[in-house]
Amino acid sequence: MLKAAIMGFGTVGSGVYEILEKNADVVSNNARQPIEVKYILDLRDFPQYPFQEKFVKDFSVIENDPEVAIVAETMGGKGAAYEFTKRCLLAGKHVVTSNKELVATHGAELLKIAKEHNVNYLFEASVGGGIPIIRPMFQCLTANHMTQIAGILNGTTNYILTRMIRAGLPFADALCEAQAKGYAEANPSADIDGLDACRKVCILSSIAYGDHVYPEYVETEGISKITLNDVAYADKADCVVKLLGRTVLNDDGSIYAFVAPHFVSKSSPLASVEDVFNAIMITGDMLGDAMFYGQGAGKLATASAVVADMIDCARHNEKRRNIGWGDGSKKLVRPLDTFESGWYVRLKGKDAAEKLKAAFPDCTLLPSEIGEVACLTGKVSTKDMRAACEQLKNVAGCMRVL
Amino acid sequence: MLKAAIMGFGTVGSGVYEILEKNADVVSNNARQPIEVKYILDLRDFPQYPFQEKFVKDFSVIENDPEVAIVAETMGGKGAAYEFTKRCLLAGKHVVTSNKELVATHGAELLKIAKEHNVNYLFEASVGGGIPIIRPMFQCLTANHMTQIAGILNGTTNYILTRMIRAGLPFADALCEAQAKGYAEANPSADIDGLDACRKVCILSSIAYGDHVYPEYVETEGISKITLNDVAYADKADCVVKLLGRTVLNDDGSIYAFVAPHFVSKSSPLASVEDVFNAIMITGDMLGDAMFYGQGAGKLATASAVVADMIDCARHNEKRRNIGWGDGSKKLVRPLDTFESGWYVRLKGKDAAEKLKAAFPDCTLLPSEIGEVACLTGKVSTKDMRAACEQLKNVAGCMRVL
């Protein structure tokens, strides 16, 4: 019997408790012993639940109880969660988490502390919710240089884009619908501005390239400027609009890491990932493309990854997982200026076609509406594209093509 | 520095050597030490390679060299590969393999021997080639009852079906093309009759349900009877024809396990898996659907999974992975008779429509060609469907719908 604590009894935390109860058979079978929740830390009251004796409001109860071997941190944020995680690790407790913000911001430090105290800090649930992605990267793709990562990493924005594409809803209406369904929060900025996806890019890049990639180095653009016109042009180009988090490896070991909406060719498996689903495509120099697909969010899907991490700790209680990455001093991320790609450009105004052709002589014009013209360009560097957009003035839409 | 041996220098074995050379930097970084191939066992001569001193024809050289810590078995088959694998494990060497036939036939026994001798027997490459699937099942989905597994597990048959669907080639022509491209062997039976997929179903089921599922319990049907008519009806039903390996969990813990061609709805992510790609969809009771997609075969993709297993052994040389399953005495597989599903049925002859409607009153007729009629049925048990087909006589095509 192993004793655990849950810190934060919100959506994911309560899901962790539910799975440990509901699937106690498979959990204890795989953990080689039962896992019992001894404490649940939350400042709120939950009078509706029968297990009142488990709720505590004082973190030190968990910290000072040597019987608690595993702590699930499902609080989110990087304030109290950061402090409590550190103190749990220092107290010799394994910590597992779904908190991408904390891993993206303090992962290197927390992994180092975990190593020094011979415990695990595991975070399978922090990227792709329930989709196995962290372990496959650490353990299965190790014979490869990962030349590229491209992921649909945020379910809320993918839902909004799917509704714009499938139902013809304008962005604002699709966002309202997502909020009504509980997929988007009242303040949806972390999702629609790409911040959530940015954190996940940081975690995936840190694993793939062995040195911490911090959010401030990852150029991040959201989906709020995307219109139904962009969506329609994508369709004409046999593409769909998707918000992608991407990392591209350069020959010198540096990387481009960014979040931006893209035109994704319908022939890519990423194009058919719809609604709140997530998918991460990883290209290895030996493996080629591999894709991991599933529910990137949701109470039980995410909690099932947290519980799997708890099971891993229980099963190998004495053996720490040999994972970690450098402190970020390698500064792997190179500015996007030199990164070349094909682009979609939409231009308003008279003579738009002529202007586009002049700016991008080898571009392909898409069948266009009155008063504007759109095209797909050949390879153009980010710097050149930004200069061209500046000069063209009335650019109404501009996205990379994948 | 860790010394390794490769047994069998065919496609995968030579790929393993190539990756260990080409990607020596990332291999030694992830393994925390370089891995050097000391011996290559093969009865054939390879005068074209410079590293002649590594080739041996006598297995006991490897067996008796205590310096060899890891052996990659890429011979295939269950004759010499079985004997050599056992002797390596008994000699205290880790064994990693891509040999699905051996794992499907003797996995439980070999895992038991590995455990007794505190070494690993790892087989990530045995299912889905380079796609990470074995570790995610063992480590990431552990909080779930796996209620269903459905996979496109054989690249050759998926290539043939893709060519039938996309290029309108009849089965025989598509097979010839696959042979010309090197995707299918001169004797293609193991692929087109579903035997290869059957072995992979055995491995996935053994992991998911903890007891060995042997090939003889897995009802297996190949793709050789599929015609362009079937492919056309699938399209009319908004489906595609795919060869699936499936396992379905029953409430009592028993399973249905089988390989058969299916009508797969175009709304399923499995439908867009084309050419030689593989994909495995796993449904967890907490997680929902997760899919793993990539190159299911090919020299370097498969070899990259073998090398990842070697790296895992090197990195945790002293710590055996706690994996394994029972000896098959639970006899988990239940006959398909009672398994209910929707079906596609194609009937030739006069009054075919009336006969189908009489046999399956709630069926939906598909727009049909002259001289035959096809329909989709509601849920019908396998036993009832077989009896109905017997009675209807001129049934020209019959597949489950997923």
∠ CA B102-A145-A121, nearest 5°, is: 85
Q: What average pLDDT does this structure show over B216-245?
A: 97
Q: What average pLDDT does this structure show over B383-399?
A: 95
Longest dimension (CA), chain A: 74
Q: Is B253 on the interface with A (CB under 8 A)?
A: no
CA nearest to A18 within chain B: B286
Q: Which A positions 207-226 lie with beta carbon below 8 A of chain B?
A: 210
Inter-chain contact A311–B142, Cβ cutoff 8 Å?
yes
pLDDT-above-70 percentage for chain B: 99
pLDDT-above-70 percentage for chain A: 99
**pLDDT level of residue A311 (50, 70, 90 thresholds):** very high
Task: Please say whether the beta carbons of A241 and A399 come within 8 A.
Answer: yes
Evaluate if residue A355 carries a pLDDT over 80. Answer: yes
Distance of alpha carbon B250 from alpha carbon B301, whole angstroms: 34
Task: Please write the tens of the pLDDT for every residue from A8-18.
Answer: 999 999 999 99
Q: What average pLDDT does this structure show over B282-304?
A: 94
Distances (CA, A) of B19 to A15, B127, B304: 42, 19, 7
pLDDT value at position B186? 84
Inter-chain contact B142–A26, Cβ cutoff 8 Å?
yes
Task: Please say whether the beta carbons of A229 and A348 come within 8 A.
Answer: no
Inter-chain contact B286–A308, Cβ cutoff 8 Å?
no
Catalytic pick among B38, B54, B93, B200: B200
Q: What average pLDDT does this structure show over B367-391?
A: 93
Distance of alpha carbon B217 from alpha carbon B10, whole angstroms: 30
Instruction: State the sign of the Cα–Cα–Cα–Cα dihedral B79, B84, B85, B86.
Output: positive
CA nearest to A135 within chain B: B136
Evaluate if residue A195 carries a pLDDT over 90. Answer: yes
Tell me the CA end-to-end span of chain B in Å, nearest whole number.
Answer: 50
Enzyme catalytic residues of A = 200
Which amino acid, one-letter code, is at A265?
Answer: S
Give strand pairing partners of A344.
A376, A399
Residues in contact with B156: Cβ distance below 8 Å, sequence separation at least 6, in sequence order: B178, B183, B184, B188, B191, B192, B196, B276, B297
Inter-chain contact B287–A294, Cβ cutoff 8 Å?
yes
Distance of alpha carbon A228 from alpha carbon A162, whole angstroms: 11
pLDDT value at position B368? 78
Task: Please write the tens of the pLDDT for every residue from A371-383.
Answer: 899 999 999 999 9
Task: Please write the tens of the pLDDT for every residue from A220-239.
Answer: 999 999 999 999 999 999 99
Q: Is B124 on the interface with A (CB under 8 A)?
A: yes
Distance of alpha carbon B177 from alpha carbon A342, whole angstroms: 34
Task: Say how many C-beta atoms besides its own lie within 10 A of residue A103's C-beta.
Answer: 27
pLDDT value at position B321? 76
Task: Please write the tens of the pLDDT for every residue from A268-309.
Answer: 999 999 999 999 999 999 999 999 999 988 899 999 999 999
**Cβ contacts (< 8 Å) between B305 and chain A: which residues?**
140, 143, 287
Evaluate if residue B50 carries a pLDDT over 90. Answer: yes
Any idea what DSSP says for residue B49? S
Please give the structure tokens belonging to residue A68: 């608690």
Q: What average pLDDT does this structure show over B243-249?
A: 98
CA nearest to A323 within chain B: B30
Tell me: ipTM over 0.85. yes
Q: What average pLDDT does this structure show over B193-222?
A: 97
∠ CA B23-B28-B34, nearest 5°, is: 110
Higher pLDDT, B335 or A183: B335
Give strand pairing partners of A240.
A264
Q: Is B156 on the interface with A (CB under 8 A)?
A: no
Q: What average pLDDT does this structure show over B152-158?
A: 96
Best mutation target among A30, A35, A127, A139 (most B Cβ atoms within 10 Å) is A139
Residue whose token pair is 């096809």: B374
Q: Is A166 on the interface with B (CB under 8 A)?
A: no
Best mutation target among B23, B141, B142, B274 (most A Cβ atoms within 10 Å) is B142
Evaluate if residue B370 carries a pLDDT over 80. Answer: no
Any idea what DSSP says for residue A367? P
Distances (CA, A) of B80 to B5, B10, B63, B84, B185: 16, 15, 14, 6, 21
Inter-chain contact A308–B139, Cβ cutoff 8 Å?
yes
**Cβ contacts (< 8 Å) between A144 and chain B: which residues?**
23, 26, 304
Tell me the CA end-to-end span of chain A in Å, nearest whole number.
Answer: 50
Inter-chain contact A143–B26, Cβ cutoff 8 Å?
yes
Distance of alpha carbon A312 from alpha carbon A15, whole angstroms: 18
Evaluate if residue B58 carries a pLDDT over 90. Answer: yes
Inter-chain contact A289–B295, Cβ cutoff 8 Å?
yes
Q: Is A4 on the interface with B (CB under 8 A)?
A: no
Phi, psi torsion values for B64, nearest 5 degrees:
-95, 0
Q: Is A24 on the interface with B (CB under 8 A)?
A: no
Task: Please write the tens of the pLDDT for every residue from A363-373.
Answer: 999 987 778 99
Distance of alpha carbon A357 from alpha carbon A365, whole angstroms: 8
Distance of alpha carbon B211 from alpha carbon B256, whole angstroms: 14
**Cβ contacts (< 8 Å) between B278 and chain A: which residues?**
none
Evaluate if residue A186 carries a pLDDT over 90. Answer: no
pLDDT value at position A371? 84
Which amino acid, one-letter code, is at A196?
Answer: D
Shortest Cα distance, chain B CAs vs residue A18, angstroms: 10
Q: Is A83 on the interface with B (CB under 8 A)?
A: no
Residue-by-residue DSSP string for A71-123: EEE---SSSHHHHHHHHHHHTT-EEEE--HHHHHHHHHHHHHHHHHTT--EE-
Query: What integer best gives the mean pLDDT of chain A?
Result: 95
Inter-chain contact A143–B293, Cβ cutoff 8 Å?
no
**Cβ contacts (< 8 Å) between A140 and chain B: which residues?**
124, 132, 135-136, 305, 308
Inter-chain contact B144–A319, Cβ cutoff 8 Å?
no
pLDDT value at position A185? 84
Query: What integer best gives the mean pLDDT of chain B?
Result: 95
Q: How many CB pairs under 8 A join A and B?
A: 183
**pLDDT level of residue A74 (50, 70, 90 thresholds):** very high
Q: Is A241 on the interface with B (CB under 8 A)?
A: no
The C-alpha torsion from A167 through A170 and A173 to A177, rounded to 10°, is 40
Q: Which residues of A138-165 are buried (b: 16+ CB within 10 A; e: fewer)?
A: bbbbbbbbbbbbbbbbbbbbbbbbbbbb
Evaluate if residue A243 carries a pLDDT over 80. Answer: yes
Distance of alpha carbon A60 from alpha carbon A46, whole angstroms: 20
Any idea what DSSP says for residue B65? -
Evaluate if residue B337 carries a pLDDT over 90. Answer: yes
Shortest Cα distance, chain B CAs vs residue A135, angstroms: 7
Distance of alpha carbon B164 from alpha carbon B175, whole angstroms: 10
Residue-by-residue DSSP string for A202-235: HHHHHHHHSB---GGGSEE--STT--HHHHHHHH
pLDDT value at position A269? 92
Phi, psi torsion values for A192, nearest 5 degrees:
-70, -20
For residue B352, the surrounding DSSP H or E stretch is helix B352-359
pLDDT value at position B179? 93
